[in-house]
Chain A
């Protein structure tokens, strides 16, 4: 998105682009509940880009859920404007507005007296879709969220917590709404299932490309899922609104710093993958090279070993000592790499592997092909370079 902003557009077009890019705009939105003497949300302004996942996070009492519920008008703002796709939410009939917004909550809220497929079909039926279209959509969604077809005729109470939440997501997506609101959807499932549901949501988002507003109190969940994080303080005050990496790299103030915790550097490592690093070939030669060439490469890197590559795949490490004996490189005793990562591995995983292996380098295995090496120095350099930026 940031690449587009550098283009100079006609003023009118600039305005159009603004509407197209922002899916949800909160403008000075304030909520004060009856009988309270302070704001639950205070003059909050927020622009949520189309097709992105924005997490609302903060301590209890920060108004994150209240903010979410003002988007589909389950709570009406005391003042301010909520705009969805350029339209003021208050101008639309509330039921029509809500049918165009997916809604997922922690307790799932499935209808216990309806089967799984009837639950998923709730909004399509309300919108008057015919049976065939609805049934087709239900089957499609079941596959999308990973529900066995045999589960469609069960009742919600017959499913596990994780399965119920999948049904909740399918139900929210049923009428293909452009916007999805999720209120701590994975808060009630165990950590293993939660991690899986998070991964599934990210994979799902690749396919459906929704604008997702996601409330959580778990900073790791926010960092993992979000394109942008809105960190709120008690009373609905926006402390920082930025990408996960910027939040960790440059906390706006002490509150943000404290909320994120002390291991900011380590958390940043989980956000980046090996593919984000500059390519580094490392001390590597083709297995057909002469022993003298191989030793030269090792010496140039200041090490006493060299990596061997055969037909694009990593073939192991050879020690300079052995290479100096003069035998063909292919015949020198080799040790296989102890640390191996893929381009998708997080830098945190890479670092752990390097630190617990006896080599100080991890080899990148890109689907069977040699993709370079990762060292602690390259990892550190990538973090430091951005701090200096």
Chain B
């Protein structure tokens, strides 16, 4: 009996992949779009919040506190909370996902700026750089490895969270997983979960490589 059941419902049924190729592709693209939209919006807001926190230091604690609070809200609850305002739209999916990236992005950005050695800042001032020049030409590049590290975590966690957004009908790989769960049909679930993992790893790798290229100085250690 169990042998028959397994034969009837294997982990992967390859012909399903071939038949549903268009659907899989569409889900993957939706997933990628939602991830990029959410992280981009998150990065934009995080940049503004970080700028405010760096410019007005006493604001740093309330700002990180607020982003931390956002992060504690369960995602399903947050989607539900926004549905009455934005309906079952992409906005309802993107706003919470972006909000979840803020904690890690803001914290890492602030840590990056804090890690700039005081002597470097002193030298920049002493040589007559304006405060704006100091931030753009010296502090921001030096904070970049921290910001990149934050982006990597934000992207990986967002790829995972996007699967949850399928419950408000925004598609993505989560829809394949839900589909499989409802029908106790393993193939779409396996495909959805695997592609989600692969997407997370690929995006992580891409940002890592961009970060490496942008910070050649951080790759070379002292040789003497």
Please give the residue numbers on chain A whose beta carbons come within 8 Å of chain B beta carbons, in ascending order.
72, 74, 94-100, 103, 105-114, 122-123, 126, 154-155, 157-160, 171-172, 181
Contacts and interface: CB of A to CB of B under 8 A. Distances in A.
Interface of B: 117, 119-130, 133, 138, 141-142, 215-218, 220-224
A103 B217 contact: no
Given A109-B120, A112-B120, A103 B223 contact: no
Contacts of B216: 155
B181 to A, nearest CB: 49
Contact of B222 (A103, A111, A159): A159
A98 B125 contact: yes
Given A113-B142, A155-B220, A108 B119 contact: yes
B215 A113 contact: yes
Contact of A122 (B119, B127, B221, B223): B127
A388 to B, nearest CB: 46
A110 B220 CA distance: 16
A180 B221 CA distance: 31
Chain A CB count within 10 A is highest, among B117, B121, B141, B222, for B222
A157 B130 contact: no
B126 A158 contact: no
A158 B127 contact: no
Contacts, number: 81
18 contacts: A74-B126, A95-B128, A96-B128, A98-B125, A98-B126, A99-B128, A103-B123, A105-B123, A109-B117, A109-B121, A111-B138, A112-B142, A126-B127, A126-B133, A154-B220, A155-B220, A157-B221, A158-B222
A4 B128 CA distance: 36
A109 B223 contact: no
A184 to B, nearest CB: 12
Contacts of B123: 103, 105, 108-111
A116 to B, nearest CB: 11
Given A107-B117, A111-B138, A112-B120, A155 B217 contact: yes
B122 A109 contact: yes
A72 B126 CA distance: 7
Contacts of A105: 119, 122-123, 126
A170 to B, nearest CB: 13
Given A107-B119, A109-B120, A160-B224, A99 B127 contact: yes
Contact of A157 (B119, B120, B126, B217): B217
Contact of A74 (B125, B220, B221): B125
Nearest to B133: A126
A154 B126 CA distance: 23
Nearest to B123: A109
Contacts of B117: 107, 109
A173 B218 CA distance: 27
Contacts of B142: 111-113
Contacts of A99: 127-128
Contacts of B121: 109
Nearest to A161: B224
A158 B128 contact: no
A387 B142 CA distance: 57
Given A126-B133, A159-B222, A111 B120 contact: yes
B212 to A, nearest CB: 13
Contact of B128 (A98, A157, A181): A98
Nearest to B214: A113
Contacts of A154: 220
A187 B129 CA distance: 25
A157 B222 contact: yes
Contacts of B133: 126
A159 B224 contact: yes
B122 A126 contact: no
A107 B118 CA distance: 9
A126 B128 contact: yes
B224 to A, nearest CB: 5
A114 B128 CA distance: 17
A281 to B, nearest CB: 51
Which 9 pairs show the lowest CB-CB distances between chains A and B?
Answer: A109-B123, A98-B128, A107-B119, A103-B126, A99-B128, A109-B119, A95-B128, A155-B217, A113-B141
B118 to A, nearest CB: 8
A100 B222 CA distance: 32
A181 B127 CA distance: 11
B141 to A, nearest CB: 5
B127 A98 contact: yes
Contacts of B224: 158-160
Contacts of A158: 220-224
A371 B121 CA distance: 53
Contacts of A74: 122, 125-126
Contacts of B221: 157-158
Contacts of B124: 109, 111
